[in-house]
Structure 1
Amino acid sequence: MKYVILIHSNPQPWGHPTGDYVAEVQALPKEEREKLDADFEKLLGELQERGELVGGEALGDPATSTLYRWKAGGPTSNDGPYAESKEHLAGFFKIDVESQERAEEIAARFAGPGETVELRPIMVFGDDGE
């Protein structure tokens, strides 16, 4: 079962890793920040060892995005950020796991201070279930 873990964040200024720019993380003692970083690296290592991590990428500043919409019979574009929100999509990880329960377990471990994590199944077209 393939899922995408979407990392939403509100860092100002924008940067990666997002935790370095989120007020909730910056307020933590240095030792706690270092433990968060170490725990995250450990999680990524575990996922790689188990063959569950398919890939992932950090995304650029939403202010550099362009939104395309269909309007008046054709596409139009607007400069970013694309959302009317303080939170923006900061990055994603693609995982391939045995069950929804395993995906939920992993996604919960991705959630950090000041961030919102979204777990979404990837649609598979033409899959007959085998």
Structure 2
Amino acid sequence: MKYVILIHSTPQPWGHPTSDFVAELQALPEQERATLQADFESVMQEMAERGELLGGQALGDPSEARLVRWHAGRRKITDGPYAETVEHFAGFFLIDVASQDRAEEVAAKFAGPGETVELRPVAE
């Protein structure tokens, strides 16, 4: 079963890894931050060893995003990502796991303070 893990975040300034730039995570004690980072690195290693990690990519600054919309019978390109967004799409990972339970187990390791992780099945 393929899933995409979508990471929504608001790093200030924009940068990766986003946790380095998210105030809520930076407010945690150093040991707690180290534990969260170790959990993330562990699940990444585990997925690589099991062949579950198909790919992923961090995304650039949302201020450089462009939207292409259909407007008045034509395509129109505007600045993006969205006018009223608080969180921005920061990156994604594509995984192929045996079950939804496994996908949820993995996605839980991606969620940290100040960030939202969306787990969505891939349409096949």
After TM superposition, the score normalised by the length of structure 2 is 0.94
The alignment status of 1:122 with 2:122, answered yes or no, reads: yes
How many equivalent residue pairs? Answer: 124
Query: SS at 1:98's partner residue?
Result: coil
Query: SS at 2:63's partner residue?
Result: helix
2:102 aligns to what? 102
Structure 2: distance between partners of 1:36 and 1:101 = 21
Greater mean deviation of Cα atoms: 60-69 or 27-36 = 27-36
Structure 2: distance between partners of 1:86 and 1:58 = 18
Structure 2: distance between partners of 1:40 and 1:30 = 15
Q: 1:83: how far off?
A: 4.8
Q: 1:72: how far off?
A: 1.1
Alpha-carbon distance change, 58 to 83 in structure 1, aligned in 2, over 3 angstroms: farther
Query: SS at 1:90's partner residue?
Result: strand
- Structure 1 unaligned residues grouped into runs of 5+: 125-130
Matched-pair identity in %: 69
1:18-97 map, 5 Å? 18-97=18-97
Per-residue CA deviation, residues 78-97 of structure 1 (Å, 9 max, x unaligned), is 11233511101000000001
Equivalent residue letter for 2:92? F
After TM superposition, the score normalised by the length of structure 1 is 0.90
Structure 2: distance between partners of 1:105 and 1:77 = 38
Q: 1:31: how far off?
A: 2.2
Q: 1:38: how far off?
A: 1.8
Query: SS at 1:81's partner residue?
Result: coil
Larger Rg: 1
On the 8 A contact 1:62/1:81 being kept in 2, the answer is yes
> What is the CA RMSD across the aligned residues, in angstroms?
1.1
- Structure 2 unaligned residues grouped into runs of 5+: none
Structure 2: distance between partners of 1:25 and 1:65 = 25
